[in-house]
């Protein structure tokens, strides 16, 4: 089953994909209009033949926004607490340049969240 993981943010979302037991970062989408974001996600879902979408949900106000976003796009939710910090640590340890880490940080966080979902 091909699965898309989303690390939702107010200005950008990180995407990860899994086609089997391993998740990998896909891309980061920067946006200012939620409708444009949803259209881009629909294009990716159709183009990649995604069967399931998982949105990471953290705590507090951002968690509520993430849950609402997941409902709007018909996705499941999964706890992503600390996935961004884990992504930063792992990418530093892997020797990924600071510039590349900043560009793909949200995609790495989405991959960690999606991998945790797959493992559970």
DSSP per-residue codes, 33-64? -HHHHHHHHHHHHHHTT--EEEEEE-SHHHHH
pLDDT tens digits for 3-16?
Answer: 999 999 999 999 99
Q: What is the CATH number of the domain that holds 95?
A: 3.30.420.140
Domain, as residue range, for 61: 2-119
The domain tally of the chain equals 1
pLDDT tens digits for 87-120?
Answer: 667 666 767 666 665 667 888 889 989 999 999 8
Residue 2 host element (H or E): strand 2-7
Contact 56, 78 (CB under 8 A): yes
* Among the listed residues 30, 26, 1, 2, the one whose alpha carbon sits nearest the alpha carbon of residue 15: 26
């Amino acid at each position: 089953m091909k699965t898309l993981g989303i690390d939702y943010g107010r200005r950008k979302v990180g995407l990860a994909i899994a086609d089997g037991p391993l998740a990998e970062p896909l891309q980061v989408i920067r946006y200012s209009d939620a409708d444009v974001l949803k259209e881009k996600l629909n294009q990716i879902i159709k183009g990649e033949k995604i069967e399931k979408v998982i949105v990471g949900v953290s705590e507090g106000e951002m968690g509520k926004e993430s849950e609402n976003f997941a409902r709007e796009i018909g996705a499941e939710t999964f706890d992503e607490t600390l996935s961004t910090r884990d992504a930063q640590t792992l990418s530093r340890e892997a020797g990924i340049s600071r510039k590349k880490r900043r560009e793909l940080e949200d995609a790495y966080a989405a991959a960690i969240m999606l991998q945790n979902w797959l493992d559970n």
